[in-house]
Amino acid sequence: MQRTIWHLRRRRARGYAIVASVALLAAGLAVFTPGVANAQSGYEQIILAHDTGWGMYAADGVVQNSPIAVHASWGTWVGNNAGPTNEDGVSGTGYTFEAVTTNGNELNWCLADTDENGQAQLENCQAGGTVFIPVYNDGGYYLYSRYFLNLGRKEVLAVTPPPPALSAGPAVQVIPVSQLNSNWYYRWAFSPA
């Protein structure tokens, strides 16, 4: 009898340990899961999800009309919640991504694109084309342009595959989802800066 009680207590202790381990694991995944939640918690880097050596940056610095490209030395951004979006079958929280200077200044210049197949650039954060809706897909996020969704077109930020060298990478632009193929990188990730 004494042995049976001891075994029951031991099993119960193991059960508590398993429950506690699962809870800790779930909490750890919530904290360490990369994604859009990070975009609200301070400075972020927007990187290619399947080629994490490359990230977005403002090629001419944090100034109006600075073209956006990818580079091995990427820029820093602040993700600001722009509210819920449910347009053309795409729903989620929209974000503006404000560029941050190397000195840590936020100057109200955000990632924007209103020109299909034209290069993304920095525009005033209140301008059209500055809100993007991250939608998880296969290890990264499509960044849907709310500007184009409002026009009834599903367009996401994409880039041609970057070169292997540390030179400036290709331009970031919006393209129709229907044109996504192996000639484009279009899944993005967020990494704390």
Residue 77 has a CB neighbour count (10 Å cut-off) of: 26
Cα 168 to Cα 88: distance, rounded to the nearest angstrom: 34
Instruction: Give pLDDT tens digits for 14-51.
Output: 443 333 333 333 333 222 233 454 444 478 999 999 98
Same domain, 23 and 13: yes
Same domain, 24 and 42: no
Same domain, 27 and 44: no
In DSSP notation, 92-140 reads EEEEEEEEE-TTS-EEEEEEE--STTSB-EEEETTSTT--EEEEEETTE
- Copy the structure tokens of residue 19: 């429950």
Same domain, 1 and 56: no
**Cβ–Cβ < 8 Å for 81, 95:** yes
Same domain, 186 and 123: yes
**Cβ–Cβ < 8 Å for 74, 59:** no
Instruction: Give pLDDT tens digits for 79-130.
Output: 999 999 999 899 999 999 999 999 999 999 999 999 877 899 999 999 999 9
Its pTM surpasses 0.85 = no
Same domain, 99 and 129: yes
Same domain, 160 and 116: yes
Same domain, 104 and 131: yes
Same domain, 112 and 129: yes
Q: Alpha helices of the chain — where are they, by DSSP H?
A: 2-32, 146-150
Cα 98 to Cα 75: distance, rounded to the nearest angstrom: 10
Residue among 133, 120, 112 at smallest CA distance from 172: 120
Same domain, 79 and 160: yes
C-alpha to C-alpha distances, 105 to 37, 97, 184, nearest whole angstrom:
22, 14, 32
Same domain, 175 and 158: yes
Cα 122 to Cα 172: distance, rounded to the nearest angstrom: 11
Task: Check residue 167 and give its pLDDT.
Answer: 55
End-to-end C-alpha distance for the chain, whole angstroms: 59
Domain that holds residue 9: 1-33
Cα 33 to Cα 139: distance, rounded to the nearest angstrom: 11
Task: Check residue 6 and give its pLDDT.
Answer: 35
Residue 146 is given by DSSP the state H
CATH number of the domain enclosing 61: 2.80.10.50
- The count of structural domains within the chain is 2
Instruction: Give pLDDT tens digits for 64-74.
Output: 999 999 988 88
Same domain, 54 and 122: yes
Tell me the β-bridge partners of 133: 144
